[in-house]
């Protein structure tokens, strides 16, 4: 509404994809997010008759889950700018559903790396699943006693046994036996069929003993907790996953060894934070648009409040903040896509800037709405709560800043 597309070199294909996701966001995602947000019990969010599954089905029938996968596997190749446009529009529509849909792909991305035909088959099954019931992915990394500290892989405590993962896999012939618990913050945790499972294979070497497995979540010994009841992002299912002597073949262990694991976690966290940066630039844009629209409609003192200078000053500051975050997020995503090697300091800076911008702009928007900004009848109240959650998820912003700061002396 209030912002212009400043990237003038968008191709017709990129514009078409942006417009497709924008329509999906306006007609499907946002109405569903509003409906799901009002449900008091998070169990109802994931019920069989929930509108959540209509969102998943529509997302897949549009082919959006296939973006970024090779054509020979049934995917749709995607460039960095297309990813930016897709994530930004999804964030603009509904932050919680955007994150849920983005997490779908995690285990299948890793499954591509396996030489095992069965595991490769899971990727094809995911790409062919237009109903969204057979292949729902989650990123199972956070634990009750390990969260943002995963970001400090190259810090002084990497090899400290006390800093290693709590979910552990012990080799048993051609199998691994997994025990431990992933915390209640696993996105899609109680609805996922497969997990990209970050675990420890050598607890004596701390985080350096980490590994990544792709695990079907219907194996014996796996159980789930209840869906988490949260302040914001209520349409995003999150919950615990428990592993009790779960046996997996060694072929499911995709990433292992300190060098390979270190590179993997660096790139995964860099990519995830850059994605959050783009997504929440979209959330910030949504908050600004809600405030601008209201200011043009709300009359005080005989004229729309947009004509009052104090409101104009607020809106212009919000506009500047949003465009700064949006521009930086796109640049970082473009760099990551072009190089294939995300720079963690830039990716974390993008996430921190965009999420804090979204929260600050949403807060100012509520001030413009006045008392109505506190009412659940207006979408800005939900944006505010969703943006607050974003400053914690995928790494607490203060820890992200420390991780990024440690890289400033080594920018390459």
- Considering the domain architecture, whether residues 171 and 99 belong to the same structural domain is answered as no
Are 254 and 329 part of one and the same domain?
no
Separation between Cα atoms, residue 172 and residue 194, nearest integer Å: 22
**Which residues does residue 178 pair with via DSSP β-bridges, in sequence order?**
169, 246
Write the secondary structure of 294-341 as one string of H (helix), E (strand) and C (coil): HHHHCEECCEEHHHCHHHHHHHHHHHHHHHHHHHHHHHHHHHHHHHCC
Domain span at residue 224 reads 137-258
Whether residue 6 is contained in a domain is answered as: no
Say if 331 falls within a structural domain. Answer: yes
In a domain, 1, yes or no: no
CATH number at residue 98: 1.10.540.10
DSSP-based three-state secondary structure for 132:
coil
- The pTM assigned to this predicted structure is 0.96
Q: Are residues 266 and 395 in the same domain?
A: yes
Q: Is residue 411 included in any domain, yes or no?
A: no
Domains: count for the chain = 3
Note whether residue 412 is domain-resident: no
CATH of the domain at 169: 2.40.110.10
- Are 111 and 165 within one domain? no
What is the maximal distance between C-alpha atoms in the chain?
79
- CA dist 126 and 108 (Å) reads 7
H-only helix segments in 76-148:
80-93, 95-103, 106-111, 117-128
One digit per residue, the tens of pLDDT, for the chain of length 412 reads 568 888 899 999 999 999 999 999 999 999 999 999 999 999 999 999 999 999 999 999 999 999 999 999 999 999 999 999 999 999 999 999 999 999 999 999 999 999 999 999 999 999 999 999 899 999 999 999 887 776 666 656 677 787 788 999 999 999 999 999 999 999 999 999 999 999 999 988 888 889 999 999 999 999 999 999 999 999 999 999 999 999 999 999 999 888 888 888 888 889 999 999 999 999 999 999 999 999 999 999 999 999 999 999 999 999 999 999 999 999 999 999 888 888 989 999 999 999 999 999 999 999 999 999 999 999 999 999 999 999 999 989 999 998 889 888 765 5
């Amino acid at each position: 509404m209030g912002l212009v597309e400043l990237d003038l070199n968008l191709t017709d294909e990129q514009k078409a994809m942006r417009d497709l996701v924008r329509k999906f966001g306006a007609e499907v995602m946002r109405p569903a997010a509003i409906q799901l947000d009002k449900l008091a019990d998070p169990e109802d969010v994931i019920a069989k008759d929930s509108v959540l599954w209509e969102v998943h089905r529509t997302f897949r029938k549009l082919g959006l889950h296939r973006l970024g996968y090779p054509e020979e596997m049934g995917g749709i190749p995607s460039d960095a700018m297309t990813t930016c446009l897709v994530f930004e529009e999804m964030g603009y529509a509904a932050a919680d559903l955007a994150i849920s849909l983005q997490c779908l792909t995690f285990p299948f991305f890793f499954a591509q790396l396996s030489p095992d035909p069965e595991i490769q088959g899971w990727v094809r099954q995911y790409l062919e699943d237009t109903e969204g019931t057979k292949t729902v992915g989650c990123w199972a990394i956070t634990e009750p006693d390990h969260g943002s500290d995963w970001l400090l892989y190259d810090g002084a405590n990497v090899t400290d046994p006390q800093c290693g993962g709590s979910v552990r896999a012990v080799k048993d012939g051609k199998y691994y036996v997994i025990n431990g618990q992933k915390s209640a913050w696993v996105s899609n945790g109680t609805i996922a069929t497969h997990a990209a499972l970050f675990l420890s294979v050598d607890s004596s070497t701390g985080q350096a003993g980490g590994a990544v497995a792709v695990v079907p979540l219907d194996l014996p010994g796996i159980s789930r907790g209840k869906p988490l009841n949260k302040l914001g992002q209520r349409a995003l299912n999150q919950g615990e996953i428990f592993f009790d002597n779960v046996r997996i073949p060694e072929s499911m262990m995709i990433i292992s060894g300190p060098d390979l694991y270190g590179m993997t976690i660096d790139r995964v966290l860099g990519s995830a934070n850059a994605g959050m940066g783009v997504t929440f630039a979209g959330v910030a844009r949504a908050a600004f648009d809600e405030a601008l629209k209201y200011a043009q409609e709300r009359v005080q003192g005989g004229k729309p409040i947009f004509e009052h200078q104090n409101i104009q000053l607020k809106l212009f500051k919000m506009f500047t903040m949003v465009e700064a975050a949006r521009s930086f997020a796109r640049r970082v995503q473009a760099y990551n896509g072009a190089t294939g090697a995300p720079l963690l300091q830039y990716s974390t800076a993008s996430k921190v800037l965009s999420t804090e911008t979204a929260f600050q702009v949403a807060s100012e928007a509520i001030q413009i709405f006045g008392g109505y900004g506190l009412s659940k009848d207006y979408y800005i109240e939900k944006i505010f709560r969703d943006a607050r959650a974003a400053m914690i998820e995928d790494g607490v912003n203060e820890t992200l800043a420390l991780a990024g700061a440690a890289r400033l002396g080594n920018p390459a």
